[in-house]
């Protein structure tokens, strides 16, 4: 029965599809996604657009309401850009339900964790749902830099825990990094690679190492761009113009930082610096200053650039 005020639904799903031993991707009917933040919204939209049912679980009704409203707004922006139709929007939203009850994770044939980039929080969540979900349910963690092995260690199914590093905006970026922890099984990897292909993503296999591929490469470049700005060498606008025109980048490093979220970016850097100890990963003082001021990029309306 729907709560019309915030689109949060009380889940009433009877039974689960037979996964045929857990080795057939087309048996995935319901995907549970923890977290209705930027990444959770994007993953939910993507999965629902491929015909699967999505159950988003958030910690409280306020977060759930905000996440659902933002998801709807993101789709409306795509409609305004003529990249989606109203009928596609209705079809996607009809497949998405929202809950604030962690116990509802049991209904998912696959579970994707997309909460904050904090190791302890991810471990606590996976440990809890490990006691709720079926033993053969695969857990996917959407992390940009954290150890899959450490996250998986909180569960009794370490062979069935794997990373999928989606890039933002999830529905648009054609890449996903599939990150194997130390104990991730070959069967789990093959299954998730096939799942990625059903989402029309090009999957690259990554063996766990801090930062994987994309985060490890992009972080030093963005950090250096912030240093250039801090040192007064050039303005934010000219730094981005130089990199876009000089290297044919679709987006400049500072605009990209705003899109990622400066708090998220700083968390990546701190994790890489802690793990690898290399100065190139130490967050620029200007980045720390902006995060302290609450200027986090697009999501707050102000970062290195201002947004409506």
Model pTM score: 0.85
Tokens of 268: 């990546």
Q: Give per-residue pLDDT as tens, 249-279.
A: 999 999 999 999 999 999 999 999 999 999 9
Angstrom distance (rounded) from CA 97 to CA 116: 21
Tokens of 259: 């899109």
**Which residues, in sequence order, are CB contacts of 113 under 8 Å at separation 6+?**
34, 35, 122, 125, 126, 139, 140, 141, 142
Are 2-207 and 215-300 equal in CATH topology? no
Q: How many CB atoms lie within 10 A of CB 183?
A: 15
In this prediction, residue 23 carries a pLDDT of: 59
Does 6 have pLDDT greater than 60?
Answer: no
In this prediction, residue 135 carries a pLDDT of: 95
Taking the domains of the chain in order of start, what are their residue ranges?
Answer: 2-207, 215-300
Q: 215-300 domain in CATH 1.10.1040.10?
A: yes
Q: Give per-residue pLDDT as tens, 86-124.
A: 999 999 999 999 999 999 999 999 999 999 889 999 999
Does 227 have pLDDT greater than 90?
Answer: yes
Name the CATH superfamily for 2-207. Answer: NAD(P)-binding Rossmann-like Domain (3.40.50.720)
Residue of 143, 204, 202 whose CA lies nearest to 174: 202
Mean pLDDT for the stretch of residues 201-228: 96
Angstrom distance (rounded) from CA 167 to CA 215: 10
């Amino acid at each position: 029965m729907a709560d019309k005020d915030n689109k949060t639904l009380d889940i009433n799903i009877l039974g689960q599809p037979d996964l045929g031993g857990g080795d057939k991707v087309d048996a995935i009917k319901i995907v549970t996604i923890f977290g209705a933040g930027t990444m959770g919204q994007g993953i939910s939209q993507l999965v629902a657009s491929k015909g699967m049912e999505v159950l988003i679980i958030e910690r409280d009704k306020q977060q759930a309401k905000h996440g659902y409203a933002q998801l709807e707004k993101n789709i409306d922006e795509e409609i305004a850009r003529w990249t989606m139709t109203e009928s596609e929007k209705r079809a996607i939203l009809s497949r998405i339900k929202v809950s604030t009850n962690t116990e509802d994770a049991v209904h998912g044939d696959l579970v994707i964790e997309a909460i904050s980039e904090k190791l302890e929080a991810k471990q606590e969540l996976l440990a809890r749902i490990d006691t709720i979900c079926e033993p053969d349910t695969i857990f996917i963690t959407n992390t940009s830099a954290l150890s899959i092995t450490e996250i998986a260690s909180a569960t009794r199914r370490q062979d069935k825990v794997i990373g999928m590093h989606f890039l933002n905006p999830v529905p648009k970026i054609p890449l996903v990094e599939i990150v194997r922890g130390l104990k991730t099984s070959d069967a789990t990897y093959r299954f998730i690679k096939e799942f990625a292909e059903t989402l029309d993503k090009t999957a690259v296999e990554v063996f766990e190492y801090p930062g994987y591929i994309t985060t490890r490469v992009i972080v030093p470049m963005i950090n250096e761009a912030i240093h250039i700005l801090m040192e007064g060498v050039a303005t934010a606008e000219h730094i981005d113009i130089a990199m876009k025109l000089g290297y044919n980048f679709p987006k400049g490093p500072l605009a990209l930082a705003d899109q990622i979220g400066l708090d998220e970016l700083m968390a990546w850097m701190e994790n890489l610096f802690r793990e690898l100890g290399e100065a190139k990963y130490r967050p620029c003082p200007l980045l720390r200053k902006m995060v302290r001021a609450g200027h986090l990029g697009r999501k707050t309306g102000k970062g290195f650039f201002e947004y409506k």
